[in-house]
Structure 1
Amino acid sequence: MAAGSMIARLESGYLLLAGVVAALTGLGMIALPGAFYGSYGIDPAASIDLANELRSPGLWLALIGFIIARGALRPDMRRLPLATAAAFYLSHAAARGLAIAADGPPGPGLITAMTSELLLGIAGALFWRRRHAEGLGLP
Protein backbone atom coordinates (compact mmCIF):
# COMPACT_ATOMS: atom_id res chain seq x y z
CA MET A 1 0.00 0.00 0.00
CA ALA A 2 1.38 3.38 -1.00
CA ALA A 3 2.10 5.93 1.74
CA GLY A 4 -0.37 8.43 0.24
CA SER A 5 -3.14 5.83 0.23
CA MET A 6 -2.40 4.92 3.85
CA ILE A 7 -2.51 8.59 4.91
CA ALA A 8 -5.79 9.06 3.03
CA ARG A 9 -7.30 6.10 4.92
CA LEU A 10 -6.03 7.47 8.23
CA GLU A 11 -7.52 10.87 7.41
CA SER A 12 -10.86 9.26 6.54
CA GLY A 13 -10.89 7.28 9.76
CA TYR A 14 -9.88 10.31 11.79
CA LEU A 15 -12.55 12.55 10.23
CA LEU A 16 -15.23 9.93 10.72
CA LEU A 17 -14.25 9.39 14.38
CA ALA A 18 -13.85 13.11 15.17
CA GLY A 19 -17.14 13.93 13.44
CA VAL A 20 -19.13 11.16 15.08
CA VAL A 21 -17.77 12.06 18.54
CA ALA A 22 -18.77 15.72 18.11
CA ALA A 23 -22.17 14.88 16.60
CA LEU A 24 -23.06 12.34 19.29
CA THR A 25 -21.88 14.70 22.01
CA GLY A 26 -24.10 17.44 20.65
CA LEU A 27 -27.08 15.15 20.24
CA GLY A 28 -26.57 13.83 23.77
CA MET A 29 -26.54 17.38 25.12
CA ILE A 30 -29.86 18.09 23.41
CA ALA A 31 -31.76 14.82 23.75
CA LEU A 32 -30.47 13.35 27.02
CA PRO A 33 -28.96 16.16 29.09
CA GLY A 34 -29.61 14.38 32.40
CA ALA A 35 -27.76 11.23 31.34
CA PHE A 36 -25.11 13.09 29.37
CA TYR A 37 -24.18 15.62 32.05
CA GLY A 38 -24.94 13.20 34.87
CA SER A 39 -21.96 11.13 33.74
CA TYR A 40 -19.84 14.16 34.73
CA GLY A 41 -21.64 14.68 38.03
CA ILE A 42 -23.63 17.67 36.74
CA ASP A 43 -27.40 17.78 37.35
CA PRO A 44 -29.16 19.89 34.70
CA ALA A 45 -32.45 19.36 36.55
CA ALA A 46 -31.16 21.63 39.33
CA SER A 47 -32.45 24.64 37.38
CA ILE A 48 -34.40 25.28 34.19
CA ASP A 49 -31.88 28.01 33.35
CA LEU A 50 -28.98 25.57 33.84
CA ALA A 51 -30.71 22.94 31.68
CA ASN A 52 -31.29 25.53 28.95
CA GLU A 53 -27.69 26.71 29.08
CA LEU A 54 -26.32 23.17 28.97
CA ARG A 55 -28.52 22.13 26.02
CA SER A 56 -27.92 25.29 23.98
CA PRO A 57 -24.55 24.40 22.37
CA GLY A 58 -25.71 20.88 21.49
CA LEU A 59 -26.99 21.61 18.01
CA TRP A 60 -23.82 23.53 17.19
CA LEU A 61 -21.68 20.58 18.27
CA ALA A 62 -23.81 18.19 16.21
CA LEU A 63 -23.54 20.44 13.14
CA ILE A 64 -19.77 20.73 13.49
CA GLY A 65 -19.61 16.94 13.84
CA PHE A 66 -21.52 16.43 10.60
CA ILE A 67 -19.26 18.91 8.77
CA ILE A 68 -16.15 17.13 10.05
CA ALA A 69 -17.49 13.65 9.22
CA ARG A 70 -18.46 14.78 5.70
CA GLY A 71 -14.77 15.24 5.03
CA ALA A 72 -14.33 11.48 5.27
CA LEU A 73 -16.51 11.14 2.17
CA ARG A 74 -14.81 13.86 0.12
CA PRO A 75 -11.04 13.34 -0.10
CA ASP A 76 -10.73 16.27 -2.51
CA MET A 77 -12.27 18.66 0.04
CA ARG A 78 -10.64 17.63 3.32
CA ARG A 79 -8.69 20.74 4.23
CA LEU A 80 -11.69 22.58 5.70
CA PRO A 81 -13.01 19.62 7.75
CA LEU A 82 -9.49 18.94 9.04
CA ALA A 83 -9.01 22.59 10.00
CA THR A 84 -12.46 22.64 11.58
CA ALA A 85 -11.74 19.50 13.62
CA ALA A 86 -8.38 20.84 14.79
CA ALA A 87 -9.81 24.22 15.79
CA PHE A 88 -12.90 22.70 17.41
CA TYR A 89 -11.10 20.15 19.56
CA LEU A 90 -8.07 22.28 20.41
CA SER A 91 -10.30 25.19 21.47
CA HIS A 92 -12.33 22.91 23.73
CA ALA A 93 -9.17 21.48 25.32
CA ALA A 94 -7.70 24.97 25.77
CA ALA A 95 -10.91 26.27 27.38
CA ARG A 96 -10.89 23.32 29.78
CA GLY A 97 -7.26 24.08 30.58
CA LEU A 98 -8.16 27.69 31.34
CA ALA A 99 -11.05 26.51 33.52
CA ILE A 100 -8.68 24.24 35.45
CA ALA A 101 -6.30 27.14 35.99
CA ALA A 102 -9.13 29.38 37.16
CA ASP A 103 -11.30 26.92 39.11
CA GLY A 104 -9.13 23.92 39.96
CA PRO A 105 -9.31 20.39 38.61
CA PRO A 106 -12.71 18.90 37.71
CA GLY A 107 -13.72 15.26 38.12
CA PRO A 108 -12.11 12.43 36.18
CA GLY A 109 -14.79 12.42 33.46
CA LEU A 110 -13.98 15.98 32.42
CA ILE A 111 -10.24 15.32 32.60
CA THR A 112 -10.79 12.39 30.23
CA ALA A 113 -12.87 14.63 27.94
CA MET A 114 -10.10 17.25 27.90
CA THR A 115 -7.44 14.64 27.13
CA SER A 116 -9.54 13.20 24.30
CA GLU A 117 -10.19 16.67 22.88
CA LEU A 118 -6.50 17.49 23.02
CA LEU A 119 -5.53 14.28 21.22
CA LEU A 120 -8.23 14.69 18.57
CA GLY A 121 -7.21 18.33 18.09
CA ILE A 122 -3.51 17.53 17.72
CA ALA A 123 -4.25 14.74 15.24
CA GLY A 124 -6.45 17.08 13.21
CA ALA A 125 -3.79 19.78 13.23
CA LEU A 126 -1.15 17.33 12.03
CA PHE A 127 -3.36 16.00 9.24
CA TRP A 128 -4.34 19.56 8.26
CA ARG A 129 -0.69 20.70 8.25
CA ARG A 130 0.28 17.82 5.96
CA ARG A 131 -2.63 18.52 3.60
CA HIS A 132 -1.95 22.28 3.69
CA ALA A 133 1.74 21.77 2.93
CA GLU A 134 0.82 19.55 -0.04
CA GLY A 135 -1.42 22.30 -1.39
CA LEU A 136 1.42 24.78 -1.15
CA GLY A 137 3.93 22.38 -2.69
CA LEU A 138 6.01 22.31 0.50
CA PRO A 139 8.05 19.26 1.45
Structure 2
Amino acid sequence: MLVKAFLVLAGVIGIGLGGTILLAPLSFYAGYGLDLTGQITLLNEMRSHGLSLMALGGIIVGGVFVPRLANLSLLAATGLYLSYGVSRLIAVALDGRPADGLLVATAIELAIGSLGLVLYLRHRNRTALAAA
Protein backbone atom coordinates (compact mmCIF):
# COMPACT_ATOMS: atom_id res chain seq x y z
CA MET A 1 0.00 0.00 0.00
CA LEU A 2 2.88 2.39 0.79
CA VAL A 3 4.41 1.76 -2.64
CA LYS A 4 1.13 2.60 -4.40
CA ALA A 5 0.61 5.76 -2.35
CA PHE A 6 4.18 6.85 -3.06
CA LEU A 7 3.80 6.19 -6.80
CA VAL A 8 0.57 8.18 -6.97
CA LEU A 9 2.07 11.11 -5.06
CA ALA A 10 5.39 11.14 -6.95
CA GLY A 11 3.65 10.72 -10.30
CA VAL A 12 1.00 13.36 -9.74
CA ILE A 13 3.66 15.83 -8.59
CA GLY A 14 5.65 15.14 -11.78
CA ILE A 15 2.58 15.50 -14.00
CA GLY A 16 1.45 18.67 -12.22
CA LEU A 17 4.84 20.34 -12.29
CA GLY A 18 5.41 19.32 -15.89
CA GLY A 19 2.04 20.63 -16.99
CA THR A 20 2.57 23.93 -15.21
CA ILE A 21 6.06 24.35 -16.64
CA LEU A 22 4.78 23.57 -20.13
CA LEU A 23 1.60 25.66 -20.07
CA ALA A 24 2.25 28.41 -17.50
CA PRO A 25 6.00 28.86 -17.15
CA LEU A 26 5.82 32.62 -16.49
CA SER A 27 3.79 32.19 -13.31
CA PHE A 28 5.63 29.01 -12.27
CA TYR A 29 9.08 30.54 -12.45
CA ALA A 30 7.88 33.87 -11.03
CA GLY A 31 7.40 31.91 -7.81
CA TYR A 32 11.18 31.55 -7.70
CA GLY A 33 11.74 35.23 -8.44
CA LEU A 34 12.46 34.70 -12.15
CA ASP A 35 10.95 37.00 -14.75
CA LEU A 36 10.93 35.28 -18.13
CA THR A 37 8.75 37.92 -19.80
CA GLY A 38 10.06 38.68 -23.29
CA GLN A 39 12.89 36.14 -23.03
CA ILE A 40 11.67 33.89 -25.82
CA THR A 41 14.74 31.64 -26.04
CA LEU A 42 14.94 31.10 -22.28
CA LEU A 43 11.19 30.59 -22.09
CA ASN A 44 11.43 27.96 -24.83
CA GLU A 45 14.22 26.20 -22.94
CA MET A 46 12.28 26.26 -19.67
CA ARG A 47 9.09 24.91 -21.30
CA SER A 48 11.03 22.05 -22.89
CA HIS A 49 11.22 20.18 -19.59
CA GLY A 50 7.47 20.15 -19.08
CA LEU A 51 6.39 17.28 -21.27
CA SER A 52 9.24 15.02 -20.17
CA LEU A 53 8.21 15.55 -16.54
CA MET A 54 4.62 14.75 -17.46
CA ALA A 55 5.68 11.58 -19.29
CA LEU A 56 7.80 10.37 -16.38
CA GLY A 57 4.96 11.21 -14.01
CA GLY A 58 2.69 9.03 -16.15
CA ILE A 59 5.16 6.14 -16.05
CA ILE A 60 5.44 6.51 -12.29
CA VAL A 61 1.65 6.48 -11.77
CA GLY A 62 1.40 3.58 -14.24
CA GLY A 63 3.07 1.31 -11.71
CA VAL A 64 -0.06 1.57 -9.55
CA PHE A 65 -2.28 0.16 -12.30
CA VAL A 66 0.16 -2.29 -13.91
CA PRO A 67 1.82 -4.21 -11.06
CA ARG A 68 4.62 -5.59 -13.22
CA LEU A 69 5.71 -1.97 -13.84
CA ALA A 70 5.97 -1.14 -10.12
CA ASN A 71 9.76 -1.66 -9.95
CA LEU A 72 10.30 0.41 -13.09
CA SER A 73 8.00 3.11 -11.73
CA LEU A 74 9.87 3.21 -8.42
CA LEU A 75 13.17 3.39 -10.25
CA ALA A 76 11.86 6.18 -12.51
CA ALA A 77 10.66 8.19 -9.49
CA THR A 78 13.97 7.65 -7.70
CA GLY A 79 15.97 8.70 -10.75
CA LEU A 80 13.78 11.71 -11.48
CA TYR A 81 13.73 13.23 -8.02
CA LEU A 82 17.28 12.37 -6.95
CA SER A 83 18.70 13.68 -10.22
CA TYR A 84 16.93 17.02 -9.75
CA GLY A 85 17.92 17.24 -6.09
CA VAL A 86 21.56 16.30 -6.61
CA SER A 87 21.80 18.63 -9.63
CA ARG A 88 20.57 21.48 -7.46
CA LEU A 89 23.16 20.62 -4.78
CA ILE A 90 25.88 20.72 -7.43
CA ALA A 91 24.51 24.08 -8.63
CA VAL A 92 24.66 25.44 -5.07
CA ALA A 93 28.28 24.29 -4.77
CA LEU A 94 29.24 25.81 -8.13
CA ASP A 95 27.04 28.91 -8.28
CA GLY A 96 26.06 29.80 -4.72
CA ARG A 97 22.83 29.95 -2.77
CA PRO A 98 19.65 30.32 -4.86
CA ALA A 99 16.25 31.65 -3.80
CA ASP A 100 14.67 30.00 -0.78
CA GLY A 101 12.01 28.38 -2.95
CA LEU A 102 14.66 26.44 -4.84
CA LEU A 103 16.25 25.30 -1.58
CA VAL A 104 12.85 23.99 -0.48
CA ALA A 105 12.45 22.26 -3.85
CA THR A 106 15.87 20.68 -3.37
CA ALA A 107 14.93 19.29 0.03
CA ILE A 108 11.61 17.92 -1.27
CA GLU A 109 13.24 16.35 -4.33
CA LEU A 110 15.92 14.70 -2.21
CA ALA A 111 13.32 13.43 0.27
CA ILE A 112 11.05 11.98 -2.43
CA GLY A 113 14.01 10.47 -4.29
CA SER A 114 15.45 8.93 -1.13
CA LEU A 115 12.10 7.45 -0.13
CA GLY A 116 11.76 6.10 -3.66
CA LEU A 117 15.16 4.43 -3.40
CA VAL A 118 14.28 2.78 -0.07
CA LEU A 119 10.94 1.57 -1.45
CA TYR A 120 12.58 0.34 -4.65
CA LEU A 121 15.18 -1.67 -2.75
CA ARG A 122 12.53 -3.18 -0.46
CA HIS A 123 10.07 -3.88 -3.28
CA ARG A 124 12.77 -5.32 -5.55
CA ASN A 125 13.89 -7.72 -2.83
CA ARG A 126 10.31 -8.85 -2.16
CA THR A 127 9.57 -9.49 -5.82
CA ALA A 128 12.89 -11.32 -6.24
CA LEU A 129 12.07 -13.59 -3.28
CA ALA A 130 8.56 -14.23 -4.60
CA ALA A 131 9.94 -15.22 -8.02
CA ALA A 132 12.50 -17.65 -6.53
Same fold (TM over 0.5): yes
Is 1:36–2:28 an aligned residue pair? Answer: yes
Shift of 1:46: 4.3
Distance 2:104 2:15 in 1: 18
Q: Which residue of 2 aligns with 1:131?
A: 123
Distance 2:34 2:101 in 1: 11
Deviation track 1:31-87 (CA, whole Å, cap 9, x = no partner) reads: 101111110111121411111111011100110011101112223430000001001
Is 1:94–2:86 an aligned residue pair? Answer: yes
Shift of 1:135: 3.1
Structure 2 residue runs of 5 or longer lacking an equivalent are none
Distance 1:67 1:127 in 2: 16
User: How many residues of Structure 1 are paired with residues of Structure 2 in the alignment?
Assistant: 130
Which one of the candidate residues 11, 14, 27 is aligned to 1:22? Answer: 14
Distance 1:49 1:19 in 2: 28
Q: Which runs of 4+ in 1 moved over 6 A?
A: none
Q: Tell me the TM-score normalized by structure 1.
A: 0.89
Distance 1:30 1:88 in 2: 17
